Amino acid sequence: MTKKDFIKKFPDVKVQQFETDTILSKQEIMDKKPRNFATYKEFGKMLREVANIYSKLGDTPLEEEGWEKEKISNAIYFITNKHDFSDFILPWKDSFLLHPFDVTEATKWAEYVKECEQKGIPCNYQEYENQKENSKKNIE
């Protein structure tokens, strides 16, 4: 319903200011389907935002297990929610603290696995290591 339609239909209702151009009835609001945020795209956005908060700390060592700086946890609460942080993000960070690994190397291994799958050949970690050694020798 537009502003004019509303004024025609309800002439006795005095509205000083309309916030929007269109006015929805209760039924129209109830019939409106909510946007589905449970998508990989939205989940990825959430993870990137959390990663951006952490990446701003650079090479600062991770805090002790089960604890996070208040300003970081508060910032993440706004992106996820309190339960997501304590149930998922903090345990994930703590796991990395206890068992750190070279993310760049893991990414390279993942690329190798993807190439093997695309070629339809089995992945061989020893072959992967040999390729790395050969490429290091070629650089030197």
For 81-138, what is each residue's pLDDT tens digit? 666 778 888 888 889 889 998 988 999 999 999 999 999 999 988 988 888 888 777 7
Show the domain range for 16.
Answer: 1-32
- Cβ-based neighbours of 98, under 8 Å, separated by 6 or more: 65
Same domain, 58 and 83: yes
- Cβ-based neighbours of 97, under 8 Å, separated by 6 or more: 62, 63, 64, 65
Whole-angstrom Cα distance, residue 57 to residue 40? 26
pTM above 0.85, yes or no: no
DSSP letter for 21, please. S
Same domain, 69 and 114: no
Domain tally, the chain: 3
Across 38-42, 50-54, 97-101, 122-126, least confident range: 38-42
